[in-house]
Every structure is written in structure tokens, then in C-alpha cells.
Amino acid sequence: MIPEIESKNTEEIKSFQEQKLQKLLVYLSENSPYYRTLFLRENIKIQNIKSLTDLESLPTTSKNDLQLHNDDFFCVPMHEIIDYATTSGTLGDPVTFGLTNNDLDRLAYNEAISFECAGIKKGDVAQLMTTLDRRFMAGLAYFLGLRKLGVGVIRVGAGIPELQWDSILKYKPKYLIAVPSFLLKLIEYAESKGIDYNASSVKSVICIGETLRNQDFTSSLLAEKVTSKWNVNLYSTYASTEMSTAFTECEFFQGGHQHPELIITEVLDEFDKPVKEGESGELTITTLGVEAMPLLRFKTGDIVKLHREKCKCGRNTPRVGPVLGRKQQMIKYKGTTLYPPVMHDLLTSFEEIQQHIIQISTNSFGTDEIIIKIATLNTSKELLDNIKDHFRAKLRVAPNVEVLPLVEINKIVFTPMSRKPITFIDLRK
């Protein structure tokens, strides 16, 4: 079921969000030490901020601000915090987020309507292939959303194909929530054990953490590799701890739908100005309805495009296109600008590659240097040349390729202290 506000016309949605924004500004000025200080220092009169366009007159908030002033972002006393979560710390020190009871209810609502986008409904069974521990908000959010929908949840956690298939065959989930590259491991295991995965109960996968689409919404190489073997629908979902909000695809696979009751989105250029329609820029968000740690014009670091035309599903809200990459991870190599996701996707197309790491450093000339470290049983010069040729043809770059033992690469990729596989290492100063 589509929330009523998402089917309204653009003016009605805009007016609705402006009312929410004004309430947020009052709340921040009264309860947030950080924003109260900011408003005073910058001489900001919140009563003058009446429209979404007026947001442009306000300073943005960065990850660095959160790291330096973490405690000052809390708007409630600590005894009202029910759950503690942290960011993954991929690009700096982790930031602690607290959630109140109301925030957990909001999180459940967010995931429930996001899962409904992908067709999940009451009575379905979903297998959760991500952790609920290690202060990881995403896993908790998925569980709360599925529970709110009345969906049966199989909490298997990450990894271990044998256990995943044991649960699939036993409990017959219709949906999986998983990292898409792990689906290749499930396929590989099923083939080795004679499991007919296309005859299984699984019909769709909600995919997290990796790109499924190209910028024109065609399937990425990774998505094609999965669906060429396994007849399942792959839905992309995009979220972060800072947003406490998810953008999930509907059945038309044209970007993740924004929920206007939960978040305001902007796409900004390097000068913090809105990009022109159809251009990519840094996704910047303002959270609505968050009690403990609301954020105003927070720059996510993700480079995206917004798509504003009405979707065939009936929703009239902006859709977030596939993430091009992280702003801080942008690589400039011999006149070409690129981001890690497109390189990860290209490497996935090689069956011979068991695991890989992309490493970026600065050479003696002060320019970016790319090294691809791979684990493979095929160490022939032909394979290495083929990888370089593919990079040259698709991305106009030819990185250095090194072959390392699988066990050595896996020690780096699956670091015990990290909640996510580490496949990109940035050694640039």
C-alpha cells in the first residue's frame, strides 16, 4: 500500500514538507546544542526559513562535524536513549547515534513502507542475511520493518552458504535480504551440492551495499551475472545510519523512492549549490521525525542523481538513482574520473577472480595510482592482460594487477573489526 502523501501532486508534497521543516527548525533551536550554537553564530532567524528553497541559505552539516561534536547533536537526555548505533567508520572515526522509542518506531515504519515498495507483504517469509549486532543499525531496521509488516523473519546473519541454504530449504522464504555478490556464493554452493536454486522458494532479493544498476537503470554486470543463472528479482535499497531512512526500488526498478514524511533531499555541487535538473551531485538530507539526533542539510558523501518524474507505480516522489560513488573516493587517473563501484562491477564479471581489492595511492608525481589485487587459480598472463583490456575498453584506464593468495586477500577483506567487507583501500594523504 502506497502512503497517501506519496501519491499527492508535487505542490502538496512540497507544502507538507515545508510544514515539517518549520517544526524541525523549532525543535533544533530548542533542543540541539550544536544547531542552537550554529543558528546563533551565523545569525540565522529560523522564522525566515519557510520554503524548501530557503534551505539553501543554511549551512550544511558534514561527517566531520558529527565526529568533532558528536554529543552536541543529541537532543534528548541520555536516559531516553533506547538503542545505540554507530556508523561503519569507512571514511573516518565512527559516529554514535542514539535512538529513542519514537525513533525506533519511525525506523520500523520507514523499513515497512520501503519493503512494501519491493512487494513484501504480511504473511511473507524473509531471510535476513546481515548482522543485528555490532551496533549496526541496518540489520535492526530490517528486522523492525519486517516485524511491523507481519513478515516471518529468519535471522541467519551474514555468510556461511551451507547455513543459508539449510534455512532456505527448511523455512522456504520468498525474499532474501543480502549483499548481491554473496548471491554468487549461494549459487556456487548450490551447484556444488546439486541444489536446484531456481526451484527454491526464493523469488526476490532486497540487495544492500552494492550497485545493481547503471545510471540508465539497466542492470549492472553483477546483477546480470546473478540473474543469468538465478531467476529472481533484484531490488536495490539505499540507506545510511545518518539518514535513518531507506530508498527502495518498486517493481519498475527506476530508482529508490523517497518518503517525504521522513526526509528532505537535495543534490548539491561542490559549492553547496543545487545542481541542475538531471545532473549528479552530493546527496544532502534533512531528517524529519527523528527525536534523538535529527540532522539538517547533512552531506552524505554519496554522488547521485535525483529523478523527479512520476513513477509508473503511482508514487509522485523523487527517486534516488544508483550511487556513482563516494565523494571522498573519487579517483582521477590519467585524465579520467571514476569511482570504485564501477571497478568492482567490472571485476565481478570475471569468473576466474575469487576475491579482489582495489588499492589507490599517490605516486611520486602527485597523481593517483590504481593497483588491483586479485586471488585466482588462473595466474596466466592472458588473464591479467584480459583484465587490463577490459578496464581500458570500459573505463579508459589500465591499472596494475597483482595476484595474491586467496587467504591473504581474505584477511584484509574480512577484517574481524569491520562489519562490511573491505574491498577498497585508499592510501592517499
Q: Which contacts qualify for 160-166: CB closer than 8 Å, 24 or more apart?
A: 161/185, 161/186, 161/188, 161/189, 161/190, 162/189, 164/127, 164/129, 165/189, 165/190, 165/193, 165/195
User: CB-based contacts of 4: which residues, under 8 Å, 6+ apart?
Assistant: none
Number of domains in the chain: 2
State residue 202's pLDDT score.
98
What's the CATH code of the domain at 109?
3.40.50.12780
pLDDT in tens, 142-180: 999 999 999 999 999 888 999 999 999 999 999 999 989
Q: Structure pTM?
A: 0.84
- 318 and 380 in a single domain? The answer is no
Domain termination residue (choose one: 326, 345, 362): 326
Task: Locate 301 and state its grid cell.
Answer: 558523501
Ranges in the chain, pLDDT < 50: none
Would you give the distance in Å from CA 210 to the centre of its chain? 8
State residue 111's pLDDT score.
96
Domain termination residue (choose one: 326, 356, 378): 326
299 φ/ψ angles, rounded to the nearest 5 degrees: -85, 115
Domain of residue 397: give its range. 330-426
User: CB-based contacts of 251: which residues, under 8 Å, 6+ apart?
Assistant: 118, 119, 233, 313
- 239 and 383 in a single domain? The answer is no
- 163 and 207 in a single domain? The answer is yes
Alpha carbon distances (Å) from 224 to 24, 46, 231, 426: 43, 49, 11, 28
- 110 and 241 in a single domain? The answer is yes
- 143 and 241 in a single domain? The answer is yes
- 189 and 263 in a single domain? The answer is yes
- 188 and 299 in a single domain? The answer is yes
d(CA 284, CA 44): 20
Domain termination residue (choose one: 326, 341, 371): 326
State residue 335's pLDDT score.
67
